[in-house]
Structure 1
Amino acid sequence: MEMTKDQRDIWCEWLLQRRFGGDAERMKATMEELNRVRDKVLEHANLRDGETLLDVGCGDGLIAFGALKRSSTVHVIFSDVSQDLLDHAQSIAQKMGVLDRCQFVCAPAEDLSPIQGEAVDVVTTRSVLIYVKDKQQAFCEFHRVLKAGGRLSIFEPINRFGLPEPPHIFWGYDVTPVAEIAQKVKGIYQQLQPLDSDPMLDFDDRDLIAFAEQVGFREVHLELQIEIKPKEKVNWETMLRTAGNPKIPTLEEAVQEALLPGERETFVTYLRPLAEAGQGITRSAVAYLWAAK
């Protein structure tokens, strides 16, 4: 995915700004959670001294820098579709004094052609395949660049879980009295990411196993984690300004686009107290997969 200079880099913009809604506390809580994901991905990767790790879809370098900190002799290849994010990661690596152990490659997960076959010991990803249409080809590339005995370790949200929501539920909140208005807001998101075809929603844990087996990984493990629990109380302004992923608007932007002024007031007046009181249900599923070539 190449971009011209006048286009927004949605990946960089989202990772560094829009996923936190400008809320420092939310950023701190999110990073604590992501650090736990990073640690688990790296544990499954079984990275050893002197090895080379390829972090596909490295983003701001969460897993890649975690690997560099685990050993002073590992080499890490940062790979991403966003040159801005690669530049950002490179500047961090320079400040950390680890630039000599880093390489930066602009490439999508399904076409890692800048990297030779059997060149790396470990491939990692975190929330990358949810943006890849041809996931099978991505697994082919993971397998191709790994040395014999190399390991793959990935983390992916299973966003198909819990979808579609019933008409009276909006983001886990019961909005029965304003269901028709809420459906207009839902429509903005469903138009951008259709439930039956968007890469973020067109797979589950069983597909991940099949992808790995079909390309020849000889040993495959998968851990599925499902949570259904009461929602936490949220800051309404943060909720308004946060985008759930790089390809969708914030709630505030969606409401502005979908609703007339009177509808906006009705929708917000009903939803805001529910969100601030945590009166909803969170339904989520994530998968960790690790495999050996």
Structure 2
Amino acid sequence: MSRDIWSEWLLHRRFGGDAQHMQKVLDFLRPIRDKVLHNARLAEGQTVLDVGCGDGLIGFGALEKIASGTVILSDISQDLLEYVQSLARDMGLLDRCQFVRAPAEDLSALDDASVDVVALRSVLIYVSAKQQAFREFYRVLRPGGRLSLFEPINRFGIAASDQPHVFAGYDVTPVIDIAQKIKAVYRQLQPVDSDPMLNFDERDLIAYAEQAGFGEIHLELQVDIVPPEDDDWHAFIGTAGNPNIPTLEEAMQQVLTLDEMERLVACLRPLVESRQGIHRRAVAYLWTVK
């Protein structure tokens, strides 16, 4: 049986197998969900399409906020669709849910003008054909329908991370040569100029929306340059940042000798555990009206 990298990451690898870290991630994501849904201006009796539903954070959040109406949960992962269907069954919400296997850029399973709201969180970072995805959002929305989304602007942190002595926001000057080997692993998997996660910013989101036909467009950019929030070393090395890359622990095992691993850990672990780093983060909320 082939691996489903999406469900494997979403349900396990993004937490590093740590229940406490999982709770921190969920606590971080709930306000994002709430803001996406607030910007969507949900109303009773409407149909909401949760694109790239994952574990159902957006879709089930919508069902909590409106007493009547339907949520369509779509994803490219059959495993995740089965997972959210099981959750909906356990919560007694099956009669208000539909489940569609579809990528964001091809929602042909849905009719034109068939939904009132399209909502998504951190989905376009995995989509190469972003403009086509926006055209699909526009197509399936009814007149007056709303699109509301959240996306990380990962390009923001690239310049700082490309400095040789910086690794994941930490100064690793004593082991620059070793850190470069790890960076090369990630650069090969996700080239800066072409990977969907890195090749756009907030201005592109606006352009995609305009070119798709949306007439009313709003965007809010949030930028934070702050010390690391977490000091958990095991979560740091055991968490994969997205489904397409290894954890730091896996990357070290791939390309470093035992001596190099020991040197990198000796330098990096005290910095992580004492939070002696800087994290650069930018995110965008965009909401539109058809």
For normalisation by structure 2, the TM-score amounts to 0.98
Correspondences of 1:1-293 after superposition (within 5 Å) = 6-164=1-159, 165=161, 166-293=163-290
What is the CA–CA distance in structure 1 between the aligned matches of 2:239 and 2:171, rounded to whole Å? 20
Query: CA 1:112–1:232 in structure 2 vs 1: closer, same or farther (change >3 Å)?
Result: same
Percent identity reads 64
What is the CA–CA distance in structure 2 between the aligned matches of 1:94 and 1:287, rounded to whole Å? 33
Counterpart in the other structure of 1:3: none
What is the CA–CA distance in structure 1 between the aligned matches of 2:177 and 2:78, rounded to whole Å? 42
For normalisation by structure 1, the TM-score amounts to 0.97
Deviations 1:24-71 (A, max 9, x none): 221111111100000000000001000000000000000000001111
What is the CA–CA distance in structure 2 between the aligned matches of 1:245 and 1:215, rounded to whole Å? 28
Question: 1:233: Cα distance to partner?
Answer: 4.1
Query: CA 1:45–1:233 in structure 2 vs 1: closer, same or farther (change >3 Å)?
Result: closer
What is the CA–CA distance in structure 1 between the aligned matches of 2:130 and 2:255, rounded to whole Å? 32
What is the CA–CA distance in structure 2 between the aligned matches of 1:233 and 1:67, rounded to whole Å? 30
- Segments of 5+ residues of structure 2 without an aligned counterpart are none
In 2, are the aligned partners of 1:86 and 1:104 still within 8 Å (CA)? Answer: yes
Deviations 1:203-253 (A, max 9, x none): 000000000000110100000000001113421111111000011000100
What is the CA–CA distance in structure 2 between the aligned matches of 1:235 and 1:50, rounded to whole Å? 44
RMSD over aligned Cα atoms: 0.7
What is the CA–CA distance in structure 2 between the aligned matches of 1:234 and 1:84, rounded to whole Å? 32
Runs of 4+ in structure 1 displaced over 6 angstroms? Answer: none
Q: How many residues align?
A: 288
In 2, are the aligned partners of 1:12 and 1:84 still within 8 Å (CA)? Answer: yes
Higher mean C-alpha deviation, range 232-241 or range 199-208: 232-241
Query: CA 1:156–1:233 in structure 2 vs 1: closer, same or farther (change >3 Å)?
Result: closer
- Segments of 5+ residues of structure 1 without an aligned counterpart are 1-5
In 2, are the aligned partners of 1:67 and 1:74 still within 8 Å (CA)? Answer: no
Question: 1:117: Cα distance to partner?
Answer: 0.6
What is the CA–CA distance in structure 2 between the aligned matches of 1:60 and 1:53, rounded to whole Å? 16
